[in-house]
Structure 1
Amino acid sequence: MKAALYRFFIELTNGPFISAALRKFTNSRMSRVFIKSYAAHYQINQDEMSKDIRSYSTLHSFFTRRLKEGARVVDNTHDSVASPVDGVIEDTGTITSGKEIIAKGKTYSISEMLGSKHQAEKYEGGTYIIIYLSPSHYHRIHSPVSGKVVNSYSLGSKSFPVNRFGLKFGHSVLAKNHRVVTEICSEETTVAVVKVGAMFINSVVVTNTEREWEKGEEVAYFSFGSTVILLFQKGAFIPGDIVKSAGEIKMGEPLGRLSGKKNQ
């Protein structure tokens, strides 16, 4: 009953009119008056921002702020996988033989998430990591590994909450929300980076269209609180302690390392 009511009210408020109105407002100069209260409420660390808080002209420009050089240190060990974002590791595990992941007790189809069974096949038996970004987090996205971009495409049109309530009561939000999928082929393996939009302002803006990405390089940003899912091929990823224990992580910190085992 709770899940049904949750989905009803979210569907009721998640129409194109409200989304467009919110997007227009957060990009307007009128939204500027809310920046300081937003920063205070979410306890934004202003010392690491690249600009003074007074220089942001809209709430959107503040939300998508960049950081000072050196505010994040990228682990450049050759075989490490760097966190692409600041966030909370919500879940991790093994992709089943049915090409599914189980997050917060709910099952998600990798085939649906990636758009086809063919795309999902290469990740069967591999590892997934789900990283959630709250409104308090830095919302720029960076490459977790160095390699060649072999695939990049968008799926889905609507977005629903991807916080813990959304994962618990929502209907397959990680596989149905608006999302941008990028596959990176490193020397060792292929890694899928699935950038999932969140409710209302569900845009994922790609800032790097190069075909070669360096680990830690900025590649995109979210326009609202969102989620990144990393998919690894079977036997290709060895998780580090931070993944096993879950919790907060900063962009650039090591999630684990690539094993060097290819799974074509």
Structure 2
Amino acid sequence: MSLVTRLTYALPHRWLSSIARSLAYSRHPRVSRWLIDTVTEKFGVDLEEAAEADPRAYPTFNAFFTRALRPGARQPDPDPRALLMPADGRISQCGPIRAGEIFQAKGRSFTAAELLASEDDARAFDDGLFATVYLSPKDYHRVHMPWTGRLLRTVHVPGRLFSVGPNAVRLVPRLFARNERLVCHFETDFGPMAVVMVGALLVSGVETVWGGVEIPQYGDRVLEKRYDGAGIELKRFEEMARFNYGSTVIVLLPPGVAELAPGLGEEVAVRLGQRLATLSR
């Protein structure tokens, strides 16, 4: 295990993330410009795709990091049977959920029940499909709907804030089931769908289009919010949430409804709106 990964076990995760949040929301021009310039140069951010291409137009680093794309920069797959990739990034892993287990990396897995913090919720996805998408600091950080769905509830699961970079994914057991996360449960015309927003070290927050800031506050217990009667329906390709720094989104689908798109696999680069899977019924 690398020294950096070993250190993350001992680091005060939430304290460091709180500092990062203060910097990300700072309106001091020197702070915001330094952070924006550093990330743009280090990670090769393509601002030509942004609705606002001038890095000096963003009042804070967080405004830059959660920037909108210009109209038409991403398009949904035209096949009406295609479930869509929820974000730009890279596939961490994808495939079947076997005996309730979700593959994390070679020799490591976690259960759907651990991820969702519910044995009952996990049963709906037994023998279904999962896709884990890692968003790096250069990526567009808004998450969109893979398919049209009605929001039933969210579950805020407290946890650690380990890095979710490729090295940590290989080395930290059950990483995605240990990090703080927001589980979003939807009802669709093919059955249940879960979209899980996983926090990470230095991630300052998760926001949803229906509830605003969800994380922080960091949780000390599982918190469920119900939306059954709220009539919140989000269309395929519509924005649903955003990260305030790089992290991971996991999509869970029930069994027998779809087949993953060919060519998807570990470390494959993906773009919002491309085909994630194809409905089979």
TM over 0.5: yes
Match of 2:276 in 1: 255
Contact 1:14–1:160 under 8 Å retained in 2: no
Cα distance between partner residues in 2 of 1:136 and 1:14: 25
1:225 aligns with: 246
* Cα distance in 2 between the residues matched to 1:76 and 1:245: 25
Q: What is aligned with 1:72?
A: 74
TM-score computed with the length of structure 1 as normaliser: 0.91
What CA distance in whole angstroms lies between the structure 1 residues aligned with 2:20 and 2:263? 36
Shift of 1:157: 3.8
Q: Give distance in 2, aligned partners of 1:76 and 1:256.
A: 13
Whole-Å separation in 1 of the counterparts to 2:203 and 2:193: 27
**Superposed CA offset, 1:85-129 (max 9, x none):** 0010121121122x1112212111110100111010011111111
| 8 Å contact from structure 1 (residues 130, 227) kept in 2 | yes
User: Which has the higher mean CA deviation after the structures are superposed, 55-64 or 204-213?
Assistant: 204-213
Deviations 1:128-166 (A, max 9, x none): 111111111110011110121223221124311111111
Counterpart-to-counterpart distance in 1, 2:43 and 2:183: 29
Match of 1:53 in 2: 55
Aligned mates of 2:172, 2:73 — CA distance in 1:
35
Residues 156, 202 of structure 1: alpha-carbon distance in 2 compared, 3 angstrom cutoff: farther
What's the secondary structure of 2:264's corresponding residue? Answer: helix
Is 1:32 aligned to 2:53, yes or no? no
Equivalent residue runs for 1:165-244 within 5 Å? 165-208=167-210, 211-243=232-264
Partner of residue 113, structure 2: 111
Q: How many residues align?
A: 257
Partner of 1:18: 16
Q: Distance in 2 between matches of 1:53 and 1:240?
A: 35
* Secondary structure at the counterpart of residue 230 of structure 1: strand
Letter in structure 1 aligned against 2:122: A
Q: How much has 1:7 moved relative to structure 2?
A: 5.1
Q: How far apart are the structure 1 equivalents of 2:266 and 2:101?
A: 22
Q: Which amino acid aligns with 2:16?
A: I
Write the distance in 1 (CA, Å) between the matches of 2:25 and 2:265: 39
Q: Please, what TM-score do these two structures have when normalized by structure 2? A: 0.86
Secondary structure at 1:29 match in 2: coil
Assess if the C-alpha contact under 8 Å between 1:100 and 1:110 holds in 2: yes
* Equivalent residue for 1:129, pick from 128, 131, 134: 131
1:244 positional shift: 5.0
Which residue identity does 1:92 align to in structure 2? C
Gap runs ≥5 in structure 2: 212-230
The residue number in structure 2 matching 1:42 is 43
For residue 136 of structure 1, give the secondary structure of its aligned residue in structure 2: coil
SS in 1 for 2:7: helix
Mark the runs of 5 or more structure 1 residues left unpaired by the alignment. Answer: none
Which secondary structure state, in structure 2, belongs to the residue aligned with residue 192 of structure 1? Answer: strand
1:2-31 alpha-carbon deviations (Å, 9 max, x no partner): 27x655411332333322111101110232
Q: Distance in 2 between matches of 1:246 and 1:169?
A: 16
Tell me how far apart the structure 2 counterparts of residues 255 and 17 of structure 1 sit (CA, whole Å). 36
The answer to whether the 8 Å contact 2:91/2:265 transfers is: no
